[in-house]
A and B are shown apart, each in its own frame.
Chain A
Amino acid sequence: GQSLEQPSEVTAVEGAIVQINCTYQTSGFYGLSWYQQHDGGAPTFLSYNALDGLEETGRFSSFLSRSDSYGYLLLQELQMKDSASYFCAVRTGNTGKLIFGQGTTLQVKP
């Protein structure tokens, strides 16, 4: 089977740093994506990693280790508006077919 594992909930305080991990077992792997979804809203794209290493985009960074089938999303200088669900997703082939994790609900407290 194909599966992605990520923690169901994470809590952090405003201004802190939080890391959301994602491990995957899939039949194919082309890259790992991260999406943010506020309650009741549409997911929005955050990052895509095809190669090992760290990609930084503003306060958000994403890391991938293909040999470990592992990645993480790092959020720095947390703000209240970062409270949302975060999904990792694996692109399994040369199309846009994605398999999503169950999501991690991040709660940022004052």
Chain B
Amino acid sequence: DGGITQSPKYLFRKEGQNVTLSCEQNLNHDAMYWYRQDPGQGLRLIYYSQIVNDFQKGDIAEGYSVSREKKESFPLTVTSAQKNPTAFYLCASSKGTEGNEQFFGPGTRLTVL
């Protein structure tokens, strides 16, 4: 079955540590996205990539970094510079770069202690 996988589902880290969240898709989609969701809030775009080896900052990129070395993979690193990293992180992909219909992974809930 095609889809998007994110692992792990729950992640705990100590303050000051960098952590990398994985996102893999086997849908052969061109574009991939990372969103952050805080309790009771909408999604906010962190980074997006329309093509391999290229990515763009979203609305809240500070304290995060990404790479897109392969079409199917778009890992997100939450660095120690991110002031409030505890959140639900969602990865998405879309067939075209217009992103009209985005498919989401199950998410990773990150808690920084």
Q: Which A residues fall within an 8 A CB radius of B?
A: 4, 30-31, 33, 41-45, 48, 50, 87, 89, 91, 94-103
Contact = CB atoms under 8 A, between A and B. Distances in A.
Contacts of B50: 95-96
A97 B31 CA distance: 10
B98 A94 contact: yes
B42 A31 contact: no
Contact of A91 (B40, B58, B99, B106): B99
A42 B56 contact: no
Contact of B43 (A48, A94, A100): A100
A97 B48 contact: yes
A95 B104 contact: no
Given A45-B101, A91-B99, A91-B100, A102 B41 contact: yes
A95 B70 CA distance: 20
Categorize the interface residue count of chain B: 20 to 34
Contacts of A103: 40-42
A95 B99 CA distance: 6
B31 to A, nearest CB: 5
B57 to A, nearest CB: 10
Question: Which 9 interchain pairs have the tightest Cβ spacing?
Answer: A96-B99, A100-B42, A42-B104, A100-B43, A48-B100, A45-B101, A102-B42, A43-B104, A42-B106
A100 B105 CA distance: 17
A101 B43 CA distance: 8
Contact of A48 (B40, B101, B103, B106): B101
Interface in B38-79: 40-45, 48, 50, 56, 58-59
